[in-house]
Amino acid sequence: VEELRLKELQSRQVVVRTEASAPCYSLVQRGIGGRPAVKPAPKYAPDTVPQISNHTAVGIVEAVATDVRRVKPGDRVIIGVVSQCGNCYMCLRGRADHCQWAFAVPAGFPPEIATRADGSGLIAQIGIGGLAELNVCYEEYLCPIFTDLPADQLSLLGDTAATGFGGAMGVMKVEMGSNVVVLGAGPVGLSAVMAARVAGAAQIIVSEPVKHRREAAKRFGATTVLDPNAEGEGLVETIRELCKGPTGRITSGGRGWVSQADSDFVNATFGAVRDNRGPDFTIEAAGPTGDVPKVETPPDPTGILPMQQAWEMTRRGGEIVYLGFGQIGDVSYPAAAFANAGRTVHAGQQGGLNFMRDIPKIVSLMEQGKYDLRPMVTSRWRLEETNKAFQVVSDRTELAPVVVFDS
pLDDT score recorded for residue 407 = 59
CB 254 within 8 A of CB 263: no
pLDDT score recorded for residue 293 = 85
CB 154 within 8 A of CB 143: no
- What's the number of CA atoms in the CB half-sphere (13 Å) around residue 301? 12
Domains annotated on the chain, with CATH: 5-160+352-404 (3.90.180.10), 172-347 (3.40.50.720)
Bridge pairing between strands 51-52 and 57-64: unpaired
Residue type, 65: A
Provide the angle, in degrees to the nearest 10, between the axes of the packed helices 304-313 and 235-242.
40
Cα distances from 384 to residues 1, 130, 133, 388, in angstroms, run 6, 14, 11, 9
Q: 10-residue block means of pLDDT along the chain (407 residues)? A: 90 96 83 45 52 92 98 98 94 94 65 90 87 94 98 97 95 96 98 98 98 98 99 97 92 78 54 75 94 90 96 95 91 88 89 94 98 97 94 94 90
What SS3 class is residue 256?
coil
DSSP 384: G
Burial class of residue 118, CB neighbours in 10 A (0-12, 13-18, 19+): exposed
pLDDT score recorded for residue 53 = 87
Alpha carbon distance 72, 401 (integer Å): 29
Q: Which helix (H) or strand (E) holds 40?
A: none
CB 344 within 8 A of CB 366: no
C-alpha 270: how far from its chain's center?
34
pTM of the model: 0.91
